[in-house]
Amino acid sequence: MFHLGVSHDFATGVDKNDELAFFWYKKAADLGQTSSFNNLAQYYRDGKGVEKDTKQAEFWFEKGVAANDAYAMANLAYMLASAEGLPRDIARAQKLFDQAIALKDSFAIRTMGLAYEEGHLGSKDTVKANALYLQAAELGDQIAMRYLGINYEEGIGFIKDLDKARSWYEKAIAAGDESSKELLEGIKKADRDWVSEVMDVEANRADDTN
């Protein structure tokens, strides 16, 4: 049943259908299939295929936490840290993140990094966020690679470095991240525009000497 939910969730062999994905995740979860708990909770949290219900999301994330699911730990931690439909509880969020990271889960590490970058775990800390993104990237997390590329490009928690930004975008693309393609193209376009501007300046200088 869980796999039927995944098929409709990610359009694997069937059309994408949030209502059917929710139906099968709920069926599987009600039967105690622990792999469904986090996915079902996300559907309740986001209002996908069902009316948004943060209490039900919390309930099923908690079931996932009890089943030692790092995804559920990280998702619930982020909800608590950001007060996303639940009262803010930074202490519990930190504990859940630590539990998930102990399982060496790249999603959890990256999500904790995002919480630090957005200031949900106290003061905004982009340096700590980048350190966590790097840990997640070293575990193969393509989104963390993209975040590192963005932060190098924008100079967020790093000294701005377009070469490193380009490198991380390329790594993310190689790992399968489609979103990094447009970001990399943006840097390449900026490079082309810069070269064009330099050539125009040089051409104007040449004209001035004639």
Q: Domain segments of the chain: what residues?
A: 2-208
- The CATH homologous superfamily to which domain 2-208 belongs is Tetratricopeptide repeat domain (1.25.40.10)
pLDDT at 200 over 60: no
Tens of pLDDT, residues 76-89 = 999 999 999 999 99
Higher pLDDT, 141 or 9: 141
Average pLDDT of the residues of the chain: 91
CB 68 within 8 A of CB 61: no
Q: Which of 73, 76, 64 is nearest to 33 (CA)?
A: 64
User: Where would I find the beta strands (DSSP E) of 21-86?
Assistant: none
Residue 142: per-residue pLDDT: 98
Tens of pLDDT, residues 41-75 = 999 999 999 999 999 999 999 999 999 999 999 99
Distance CA 200, CA 208 (A): 12
Mean local confidence (pLDDT), 154-182: 96
pLDDT at 121 over 80: yes
Residue 141: per-residue pLDDT: 98
pLDDT at 196 over 90: no
Prediction pTM value: 0.87
Report residue 178's pLDDT band, with 50, 70 and 90 as the boundaries. very high
Report residue 198's pLDDT band, with 50, 70 and 90 as the boundaries. very low
Vertex 119: Cα angle to 118 and 125 (nearest 5): 95
